Structure formats: C-alpha cells, structure tokens
Amino acid sequence: MQPAFEENTAAFEQTVRAVIGLAEGFTDAEWELPTDCPGWTVKDMVSHLVSAEELFLGDPLPAHDLPDLPHVQNELGRMVEIGVDVRRPLPGAQVLEQLKAVLERRLAMLREVDPAAEAPQPDGKPGDYTRLMMFRAFDCWIHEQDIRRATGRPGGLDSLAGAATWKVLLPGLPFVVGRRAGAEPGESVAFEITGAREYSVGVVVDGNGRGVLGDVPAEPTTRITLDWEDYVKLAAGRCAPGEAKAVVEGDRELAGRILANMAVTP
C-alpha cells in the first residue's frame, strides 16, 4: 500500500478508537451534554461518526421523517442530520456499540481498496482513497475534540489525525487572507502555530489579490501567533474570534479581519 494511505488510515483509526475509549467512560448525563456544534449533543456527535462511515460503506440512509430543526440550514445538513436524529431515542451505550461495529467494517473494507482508486470526496473534488482518508481522519478528529471539550477530557492534540487536520486546513489560509480579509496586493501574513503542534507559514497576496502560500516573510505586514487548539477551533468555526488567544504584531486591523474570517469548514 501507499505510505500516505496507510498513514491517513492509521490516523482515522486512531481518532475513532480514541472516541470509543472516551465514550466507554461516559455517564448518562455526559452523553447528553451540548457540544460546540449547534443542536448536537455528545451522543449526536458519536451518532454522526456512525452514520458517516455507514454512508462510505455504501449503506443507504435510514427511512426517517426528519422534523424541522433550527440548526439544519440546507439539504446537505438535512442528509447529515438523518443519521443523527434517527439515533436520538437510543441510549448512548447502544450508539457506542454501533460505532465499534462500523469501524471494524470500515477497516476491513479499507484493507481491500486500491489507494489510488477514485473515491467520493467530502469537498466534491476528484480524488482517491488516500485523499479521502485524510479528510476522514480530519473530520473524525475535529469531532473527537468537540467531544473532549464538552466532557472536560482534553487530549489528542498531537495525534496523527491532528497532522492530517493541518494538511486539510492549510489550503484555506490563502483564501482567508486574500479574499475574505481583503488583504491588498503585496501585503503578507506570517502565521505562527504553537503548542501541541507547531507550524510556521506565510501568505503573500499577489497582484490579482490572491493569497499564495509560502515561507514566512522576513517583514510581514502582520504576524499572527495562535495556539494549535485555538487555531483549530477558529478554522472549524468552533469559537468566535475574540475567544481565541491570538498574539498580533504589525497591522492589527488586517489581523482582526483575518481572525474574523478564519472559519473554513461547514
């Protein structure tokens, strides 16, 4: 198998098993705790992981009359919500057993696939199973972190799936700087990520107003330093800009626009 496919699959398995390990210790009350995702409890998060892997296995969505829910905003949201809402009457322990079972089915399937074969991608772009498993590691890890915050069980920030998450989120930075924040041509931003994972990357805006990834500029227009967990929470839309502990040097107004537009996931 391709090393990248094996690494992404290992990251996916690691984060799902981490959720399983956490869930085995949940009380009835903890299953019902709210998370940073509007409308979703801890149990809903685990239900989503089950449903998503069932879909990638080719299982049909269950026949279910979904009620009107304020946090469901579009058709994609409705499709995702079906697998969650149908499990709301179930006890958390039963949903956990479903997650264990679907993980084993998924790993068995992945042992048989060609990593280079075309696979459906969450962002709709063409890609193979290697790319798909990077996204699955990212998605499951984001929800692992949602669950950890909701239940007061921090950890896993430096895991393999955290590395996959950086690969998924990194391409969003030029769009944030150049398009959303409206940085001017020639302006540049240095991003310094610290803590459990450490990264340094620069974005320079070209003559067409597009951000371009590269090395950290020697004299950036602004420098933004963020803890890894805060960066993830911002990029995943899990907190407001003012809730992240950002250290800014240089153009503070530009930095403020960037931080206000960091969310790049649905």
For residue 66, the model assigns a pLDDT of: 79
pLDDT tens column, 92-105 = 999 999 999 999 99
- Given pLDDT bands bounded at 50, 70 and 90, which one contains residue 44? very high
Answer yes or no: is 162 within a domain.
no
Please indicate whether residue 39 or residue 68 has the higher confidence score (pLDDT).
39
In a domain, 61, yes or no: yes
Percentages helix, strand, coil for the chain, rounded to the nearest 5? Answer: 50, 10, 40
125 plus 17 within the same structural domain: yes
On whether both 126 and 211 belong to a single domain, the answer is no
Tell me what pLDDT residue 123 has.
85
CATH number of the structural domain spanning residue 112: 1.20.120.450
Q: What is the DSSP string of 53-76?
A: HHHHTTPPPPP--PPP-TT--SHH
CB 235 within 8 A of CB 180: no
The CA angle 124-130-134, to the nearest 5 degrees, is 70
Which two tokens mark 138? 């990212």
8 A C-beta contact, residue 224 and residue 234 = no
Query: In this structure, are 55 and 131 located in the same domain?
Result: yes
Same domain, 192 and 138: no
249 inside domain: yes
Which domain, by its residues, includes 244? 170-259
Domain assignment present for residue 95? The answer is yes
Question: Across the strands, what pairs with 203?
Answer: 189, 213
Q: 188-194 and 222-227: which strand pairing?
A: parallel
Task: Kindly state whether residues 151 and 174 are assigned to the same domain.
Answer: no
Of the residues 127, 155, 183, the one at which a domain ends: 155
The CATH number covering residue 179 comes to 3.30.1050.10
Q: Are residues 137 and 251 in the same domain?
A: no
Q: Is the pTM of the predicted complex or chain greater than 0.85? A: yes
The answer on 178 and 151 residing in a single domain is: no
Please tell me the distance from the alpha carbon of residue 144 to that of residue 157, in angstroms, as a whole number. 10
Give the span between the Cα atoms of 214 and 202, in whole angstroms: 5
pLDDT in tens, 186-221: 999 999 999 999 999 999 999 999 999 999 999 999
Cα 221 to Cα 189, 193, 215, 227, 252: the distances in Å are 6, 17, 14, 20, 9
Looking at the domain assignment, is residue 33 inside a domain? Answer: yes
Residue 214 lies in a domain: yes
Q: Does 29 share its domain with 147?
A: yes
Average pLDDT for 112-132? 93
What is the spatial distance between Cα 139 and Cα 227, in angstroms, rounded to a whole number?
20
Question: What percent of the chain has a predicted confidence (pLDDT) above 90?
Answer: 86
Q: What is the mean pLDDT of residues 143-170?
A: 97
| Residue 266 placed within a domain | no
Domain boundary among 155, 179, 207: 155
Residue 1 has pLDDT above 70, yes or no: no
Is pLDDT above 90 for 62? Answer: no
Chain mean pLDDT for the chain: 94
Q: How many domains does the chain have?
A: 2
Q: Is residue 97 part of a domain?
A: yes
Q: Are residues 51 and 150 in the same domain?
A: yes
Q: How confident is the model at residue 266 (pLDDT cuts 50, 70, 90)?
A: low
- pLDDT on residue 175: 96
Edge-to-edge strands of the sheet including 199-205? 211-214, 199-205, 188-194, 222-227, 247-250
